[in-house]
Chain A
């Protein structure tokens, strides 16, 4: 990347290991390259694209603005809760709001989402109370929502594992006859999220192969936020990620991940393609992780502040605000109301987080097996008797 320090990939010079990385990641690619699908520029200007267009009205854009502000509030509030010791850790999405809201809002109710652990904005679009997301990070549960209520799978922490689950689910949709029927209320697709780091995982590549082989209705939505904890995108790939799709036999698209109009349009087209039975699509949402990997991470050890400054100019929320303001589509009251709403959401998270019920040790035996196990029953019984023995002995054994 032209804006990154030359030493960042000094050990990856051309000739020694492969192609000239200056060409691959140099000026041509720095802002996503010439094939980047963009419909709203960082300056808030609407632009046309020959293949993808935004087909909703300005009210919808105002809705997206609200979604992104509230999503950012979930993120900043949860980060603050971690700083106050209420969460053990939090995986921040700062800067990725447009990628998540655009793709999430392109979904229909019957579609199914297989997320990583960072899809807080997508969860919000699926109607999941953000409070439920906090349980995992507070350590009171390992996923506090019913995946089948909003068709939103549980957060998956092993990198890339969920892409295979999504592909398998999509294979199930095919067997259930809900792909390619032409009925918009019936045809369904899967979207599975992952990151640039995950693109190196075997599971992700196997998911591509299975999906291509069976023509499964799945959209592989990669948020390329440039960083896998401390490792830059150069460590994961020698070509722009979206170009990998060609090698697997399905289309790949690179979209401006900070442009909510473009992520919506591209996701909608990819999902529709899947629902119609035309198979998988790889969507690379080209974005930037503005925060740390998680609250335990320290990005100052491995990346430069000018990168951050460069990407601040591409903020996904600010460009929509500029568009709405400059075109007289929203007045100050509109923005103020959303800020009030965000404040309420923050309060909901602050109060609700502390009230999340604590897990109880004897309950952990309940869900190891669906049909139970005599061994687990015996362990529960033995441990319960052990705990009781303290009480009968007046707090001491």
Chain B
């Protein structure tokens, strides 16, 4: 057992995947000697060489486009996009090529590509460094989208994503990279870990279901803890997978609690919360005691960092929504 951060968990997971399969490549900007701007690939180039840990020219479409060719040649590229807001130059390759080639080829060509994106805000950064673009990828058929929230999941989920024969957009809550430590039991194996495309109840409760992923899991757990002091029993679910959604645990929880609040840093309008609310309404209409509520970023561009903590949904905004739901 060892205590690790999310950054270490991801680093160790990448290392394990590269040890297990010589076809796994890491590619991106500054992933070599520097170890990435967040140090997620720290030490990998030293141990696996420049052919497997590839410092790319500064061109995101080039990274994803060449990853397609490498995948066609039998490699499993893990592409690092340096920041969420820099994924858009690669958007065309991701949406028009990576997501569609398996379909276009009627299954003859697989695209086992992982697209790692540090996402979300709260780090005091300049524009384009704090965004949450997940819904744009979840809206794209052919992609799978997951978000880890803690060091242990980071370790297992990155390995599972690399083993997946489909392209996976892998979202990492950047403000959690170096924040909290957790115990990693290295005696466990990948087979013991929860499946990649599964959601998980992370706190049990009976009065209301709080849904979160990535950076909002920590906020929602803190919100549930605070609510408990007011006598409210809140269940928290870490969605983990955004495409496909794993609605089983969500629907079971809402059938029990009758209330749901979906949270994310991304803009509310047409965000993941919109889809999840629709699905809960379709499946649990007669169980609901209140409309499904959403808490998220406002429908503005991400703000200057001095006011980002006011813009981001926090414990109070989550509890406000909890109170509104419980008041129905």
Q: Residues on A close to B: CB < 8 A?
A: 114, 141-143, 146-148, 153-154, 156, 158, 161, 163-176, 190, 202-203, 206-207, 209-210, 213, 366-371, 373-376
Give B63-105 interface residues, CB cut-off 8 Å to A: 64-75, 89, 92-93, 96-97, 101-105
Residues on the A chain within 8 Å of B107, using CB: 366-367, 370
| A170-B61 CB under 8 A given contacts A369-B144, A373-B244 | no
Residues on the A chain within 8 Å of B25, using CB: 175
Residues on the B chain within 8 Å of A114, using CB: 69
Say whether A161 contacts B166, CB under 8 Å.
no
Which DSSP category, helix, strand, loop or mixed, fits chain A's interface? Answer: helix
Q: Bound state CA distance, A54 and B84, in angstroms?
A: 52
Residues on the A chain within 8 Å of B243, using CB: 375
Q: Bound state CA distance, A163 and B65, in angstroms?
A: 8
Contact with A along B122-162 (1 / 0, CB 8 A): 00000000000000000001101000000000000000000
**Does B110 belong to the interface (CB within 8 Å)?**
yes
Which of A169, A209, A371, A375 has a CB less than 8 Å from the CB of B69? A169
Whole-angstrom distance between the Cβ of B184 and the nearest chain A Cβ: 26
**Does B57 belong to the interface (CB within 8 Å)?**
yes
**Does B165 belong to the interface (CB within 8 Å)?**
yes
Whole-angstrom distance between the Cβ of B99 and the nearest chain A Cβ: 9
Interface hub of B67, B70, B165 (most chain A Cβ within 10 A): B70
**Does B164 belong to the interface (CB within 8 Å)?**
yes
Interface size on B, residues (CB 8 A): 45
| A206-B65 CB under 8 A given contacts A158-B97, A172-B75, A175-B51 | yes
Q: Residues on B close to A: CB < 8 A?
A: 25, 51, 56-57, 59, 61-62, 64-75, 89, 92-93, 96-97, 101-112, 141-142, 144, 164-166, 243-245
Say whether B62 contacts A169, CB under 8 Å.
no
Closest 6 interchain pairs by CB? A168-B69, A164-B65, A172-B73, A168-B66, A169-B69, A206-B62
Say whether B73 contacts A169, CB under 8 Å.
yes
Which of A146, A203, A213 has a CB less than 8 Å from the CB of B61? A203
From B103, which residue of chain A is reached at the shortest CB distance?
A367
| A209-B57 CB under 8 A given contacts A164-B93, A371-B164 | yes
Q: Bound state CA distance, A173 and B68, in angstroms?
A: 14
| A161-B92 CB under 8 A given contacts A146-B108, A373-B244 | yes
Q: Bound state CA distance, A370 and B99, in angstroms?
A: 11
Say whether B69 contacts A172, CB under 8 Å.
yes
Residues on the A chain within 8 Å of B73, using CB: 168-169, 172-173, 175-176
Say whether A161 contacts B97, CB under 8 Å.
yes
Residues on the A chain within 8 Å of B62, using CB: 164, 203, 206-207, 209-210
Say whether A167 contacts B69, CB under 8 Å.
yes
Which of A142, A176, A203, A370 has a CB less than 8 Å from the CB of B65? A203
Say whether A165 contacts B97, CB under 8 Å.
yes
Say whether B102 contacts A369, CB under 8 Å.
yes
Q: Bound state CA distance, A114 and B59, in angstroms?
A: 21
A-B contact pairs, 23 of them (CB 8 A): A142-B104, A154-B105, A161-B93, A161-B96, A164-B64, A165-B66, A165-B72, A165-B97, A167-B66, A168-B68, A169-B69, A169-B70, A170-B69, A172-B75, A175-B51, A202-B89, A203-B62, A206-B65, A207-B62, A210-B56, A210-B57, A371-B165, A375-B244
Q: Bound state CA distance, A41 and B75, in angstroms?
A: 45
Q: Bound state CA distance, A172 and B67, in angstroms?
A: 9
- Contacts A164-B65, A168-B69 known; 9 new A-B pairs at CB < 8 A: A154-B105, A165-B97, A168-B71, A176-B73, A202-B59, A207-B66, A209-B57, A209-B59, A210-B57
Q: Bound state CA distance, A128 and B74, in angstroms?
A: 22
Q: Bound state CA distance, A216 and B55, in angstroms?
A: 15
Say whether A371 contacts B244, CB under 8 Å.
no
Say whether B70 contacts A368, CB under 8 Å.
no
Q: Bound state CA distance, A153 and B96, in angstroms?
A: 15
Whole-angstrom distance between the Cβ of A202 and the nearest chain B Cβ: 6
Q: Bound state CA distance, A210 and B66, in angstroms?
A: 8
Q: Bound state CA distance, A167 and B97, in angstroms?
A: 15
Residues on the A chain within 8 Å of B64, using CB: 164
Say whether B165 contacts A370, CB under 8 Å.
yes
From A359, which residue of chain B is reached at the shortest CB distance?
B106
From B73, which residue of chain A is reached at the shortest CB distance?
A172
| A143-B105 CB under 8 A given contacts A169-B69, A172-B75, A206-B62 | yes
Residues on the A chain within 8 Å of B51, using CB: 174-175
Say whether A172 contacts B70, CB under 8 Å.
yes
Q: Bound state CA distance, A170 and B68, in angstroms?
A: 11
Q: Bound state CA distance, A207 and B69, in angstroms?
A: 11
Q: Bound state CA distance, A202 and B107, in angstroms?
A: 29
Q: Bound state CA distance, A271 and B68, in angstroms?
A: 22
| A168-B70 CB under 8 A given contacts A370-B110, A371-B165, A375-B244 | yes
Which of B65, B96, B164 has a CB less than 8 Å from the CB of A167? B65
| A147-B72 CB under 8 A given contacts A209-B57, A370-B107 | yes
Residues on the B chain within 8 Å of A369, using CB: 102, 142, 144, 166
Which of A141, A207, A375 has a CB less than 8 Å from the CB of B106? A141
Which of A147, A158, A375 has a CB less than 8 Å from the CB of B109? A147
Say whether A368 contacts B142, CB under 8 Å.
yes
Say whether A207 contacts B65, CB under 8 Å.
yes
